[in-house]
């Protein structure tokens, strides 16, 4: 883990600088004490970072839980009672891990994950615009993270309240980040661009201090400052154990556990996809780590946590190699809020906004859309684009749900198109049609198979082969039985049913060899065709 300590320390420092305002902003939007967001970030970094087997994901408070937390604190009446719900959520996640519920992550299509990343990238850019231009009036319903969609009011308000000093700092920061990727700056890449962006922002604001471009405290990182060790310790809140007697505490805990687990699994899947080394994270172990982290967070006054894609992608872009970067970001959160919060409060939000905007662009750059269209076609691009748009306009979970529904639609549509593969051979003394059923034959294939059987010409030899079929729906089996028992005889069709499992109880009176041998003439080369069911139906109908 310490092999790449230099890379990981620099990445941890960058993620720390990004996580700091996000932890505070999410706590503010949740109606919780500001320090609870910092506590959640520390637990996500040190505790979950140590327990997790993910190399690059970063855990912390997420905006996707903000609405739940805000309502729950109001309903329960006190933050210390709400902390009991966080403990319950952690216990439920721990149980889900032991029940191996993490395997659900394997069923998210790649197009949906790519769409989620692109949507989050666009949302990051939009939501960081206010800080980039110096607009500070953000209501509680406008989150500072990228999990919950956005409103056009964010852009309108930001553009109507531009602070020149902040805009200059953000533009210079973006310029540094872009130039750092060029060959001309390859020799000085040993110094991370993110650190240069932060230091240049502090320096520029110091230069602006004598003029109208100077940014006041409203535009800077705002950490609570304790005047003593006792004052620092006093910022921690402990749960009121009486809350466990309240049924609403348990209900809220289960809701938080379910939403947090889904968001974590989505973000873990996305982070693994972004990992340059393509490492795999055991999802069941991750749920256990998240559960332990949430239990500890609830015990010492922190918000519920999840794996978060914004900080995870920033971690990857900053050059992290192992999970040490995540742990370092947690240690820096703890050390700096305890010792040097005054120095951290000199950092302009516009500098951090520049880093996040560049991170967002890397997730949703046009090349991603072109790649999805060229490589996947409409069946991959449509779920991808729909997910991206829905994540931006609604929120992460709704966006992914829409993408999943569309992906399932295309899977079913494709399944309907390929019920079987046919081979048709025409001899002088008759015709042979062999239908090789697909691996999965569902009720969605019933209509196409029924139409094929009805259109088969009389006096034909037909073989239906299920040797490679793992599953056949009951309705389709019933259809084949009816065809064998009555309709085939009415049309004088010689039928052979091959490879059907004994459990299907399909009669197999004729072997395929017997009926083929009666038809085939070794001295004759038959006319042959082959393909999918649409091609066969077209031949049978003469269309």
Q: What is the CATH number of the domain that holds 482?
A: 3.30.750.24
Model pLDDT, residue 54 = 92
Number of C-beta neighbours around residue 189 at 10 A: 12
Model pLDDT, residue 51 = 95
Model pLDDT, residue 426 = 81
Domain boundary among 372, 388, 404: 388
401 located within any domain: no
Whether the pLDDT of residue 523 is over 70: the answer is no
150-159, 190-199, 423-432, 488-497: least confident range: 150-159
Do residues 57 and 299 make contact, with C-beta atoms less than 8 angstroms apart? no
Task: Please state the domain count of the chain.
Answer: 2
Mean pLDDT of 500-522: 71
92 located within any domain: yes
Confidence of residue 137 (pLDDT cuts 50, 70, 90): low
Confidence of residue 141 (pLDDT cuts 50, 70, 90): very low
Model pLDDT, residue 521 = 66
23 located within any domain: yes
Same domain, 53 and 197: yes
411 located within any domain: no
Do residues 192 and 166 make contact, with C-beta atoms less than 8 angstroms apart? no
β-strand partners of 471 = 440
The tokens describing 95, both together, are 């149980």
Same domain, 347 and 458: no
Same domain, 284 and 431: no
Mean pLDDT of 420-434: 82
Same domain, 309 and 429: no
Whether the pLDDT of residue 150 is over 60: the answer is no
Same domain, 26 and 83: yes
Q: Does 520 or 126 have the greater pLDDT score?
A: 126
pTM of the model: 0.68
Whether the pLDDT of residue 501 is over 60: the answer is yes
Mean pLDDT of 441-453: 84
pLDDT over 70, % of the chain? 90
- pLDDT tens-digit readout, 84-109: 999 999 999 999 999 998 888 777 78
412 located within any domain: no
The CA distance from 216 to 209, in Å, is 9
β-strand partners of 431 = 426, 460
Average pLDDT over the chain, rounded to whole? 84
212-221, 257-266, 528-537: least confident range: 528-537
The CA distance from 155 to 171, in Å, is 17
The tokens describing 451, both together, are 């139409």
153-162, 207-216, 234-243, 400-409: least confident range: 153-162
Model pLDDT, residue 301 = 93
Same domain, 365 and 466: no
β-strand partners of 175 = none
Model pLDDT, residue 497 = 87
The tokens describing 383, both together, are 């779920």
The tokens describing 169, both together, are 């700092």
The CA distance from 168 to 7, in Å, is 29
Q: Does 399 or 376 have the greater pLDDT score?
A: 399
Cβ-based neighbours of 391, under 8 Å, separated by 6 or more? 115, 116, 118, 119, 120, 122, 123, 149, 398, 399, 400
Do residues 34 and 27 make contact, with C-beta atoms less than 8 angstroms apart? yes
Model pLDDT, residue 139 = 41
Same domain, 302 and 449: no
232 located within any domain: yes
Same domain, 370 and 430: no
Same domain, 339 and 276: yes
Expressed as residue numbers, the domain containing 230 is 5-388
Model pLDDT, residue 415 = 64
Same domain, 371 and 437: no
Nearest to 540 by CA among 421, 424, 461, 420: 424
149 located within any domain: yes
The CA distance from 272 to 276, in Å, is 9
Same domain, 426 and 383: no
403 located within any domain: no
Sheet holding 527-532, edge to edge: 494-498, 460-465, 430-437, 420-427, 527-532
> What does the DSSP assignment read for 292-324?
HHHHHHHHTTPPP-EEEHHHHHHHHHTT--STH
Same domain, 265 and 307: yes
Q: Which helix (H) or strand (E) holds 448?
A: helix 446-455
Confidence of residue 143 (pLDDT cuts 50, 70, 90): very low
Q: 432 φ, ψ to 5°?
A: -115, 125
Model pLDDT, residue 423 = 84
Whether the pLDDT of residue 204 is over 50: the answer is yes
Q: Does 299 or 397 have the greater pLDDT score?
A: 299
The CA distance from 41 to 20, in Å, is 8
For residue 56, give the 3-state DSSP assignment.
coil
The tokens describing 368, both together, are 């991603």
């Amino acid at each position: 883990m310490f092999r790449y300590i230099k890379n990981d320390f620099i990445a941890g420092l960058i993620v720390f600088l990004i996580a700091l305002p996000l932890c505070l902003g999410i706590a503010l939007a949740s109606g919780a004490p500001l320090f609870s967001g910092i506590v959640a970030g520390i637990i996500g970094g040190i505790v979950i970072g140590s327990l997790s087997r993910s190399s690059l994901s970063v855990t912390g408070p997420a905006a996707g839980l903000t609405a739940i937390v805000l309502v729950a604190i109001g309903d329960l009446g006190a933050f210390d009672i709400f902390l009991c719900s966080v403990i319950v959520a952690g216990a439920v996640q721990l149980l889900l891990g032991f029940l191996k519920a993490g395997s659900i992550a394997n069923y998210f299509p790649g197009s949906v994950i790519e769409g989620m990343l692109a949507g989050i990238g666009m949302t990051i850019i939009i939501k960081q615009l206010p800080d980039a231009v110096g607009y500070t009036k953000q209501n509680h319903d406008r989150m500072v993270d990228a999990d919950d969609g956005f409103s056009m009011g964010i852009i309108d308000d930001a553009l109507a309240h531009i602070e020149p000093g902040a805009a200059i700092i953000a533009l210079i920061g973006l310029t540094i980040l872009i130039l750092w990727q060029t060959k001309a700056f390859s020799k000085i890449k040993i110094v991370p661009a993110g650190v240069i962006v932060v230091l240049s922002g502090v320096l520029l604001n110091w230069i602006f201090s004598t003029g109208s471009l100077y940014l006041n405290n409203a535009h800077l990182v705002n950490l609570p400052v304790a005047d003593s060790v006792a004052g620092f310790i006093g910022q921690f809140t402990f749960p009121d154990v009486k809350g466990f007697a309240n049924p609403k505490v348990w209900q809220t805990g289960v809701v938080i556990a379910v939403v947090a687990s889904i968001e974590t699994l989505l973000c873990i899947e996305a982070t693994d996809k972004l990992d340059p080394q393509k490492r795999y994270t055991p999802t069941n172990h991750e749920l256990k780590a998240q559960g332990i982290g949430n239990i500890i967070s609830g015990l010492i006054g922190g918000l519920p946590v999840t794996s978060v894609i914004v900080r995870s992608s920033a971690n990857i872009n900053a050059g992290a190699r192992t999970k040490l970067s995540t742990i370092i970001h947690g240690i820096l959160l703890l050390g700096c809020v305890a010792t040097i919060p005054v120095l951290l409060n000199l950092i302009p939000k516009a500098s951090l906004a520049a880093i996040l905007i560049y991170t967002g662009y890397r997730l949703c750059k046009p090349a991603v859309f072109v790649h999805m269209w060229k490589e996947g076609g409409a069946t991959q691009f449509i779920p991808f684009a729909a997910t991206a748009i829905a994540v931006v306009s609604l929120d992460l979970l709704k966006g992914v749900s829409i993408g999943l529904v569309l992906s399932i639609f295309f899977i079913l549509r494709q399944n309907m198109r390929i019920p079987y593969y046919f081979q048709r051979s025409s001899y002088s003394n008759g015709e042979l049609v062999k239908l090789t059923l697909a691996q999965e034959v569902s009720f969605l294939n019933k209509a196409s198979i029924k139409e094929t059987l009805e259109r088969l010409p009389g006096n034909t030899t037909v073989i239906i082969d299920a040797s490679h079929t793992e599953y056949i729906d009951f309705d389709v089996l019933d259809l084949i039985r009816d065809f064998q028992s009555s309709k085939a005889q009415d049309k004088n069709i010689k039928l052979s049913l091959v490879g059907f499992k004994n459990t299907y109880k399909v009669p197999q009176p004729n072997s395929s060899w017997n009926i083929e041998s009666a038809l085939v003439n070794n001295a004759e080369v038959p006319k042959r065709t082959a393909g999918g069911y649409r091609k066969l139906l077209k031949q049978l109908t003469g269309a």
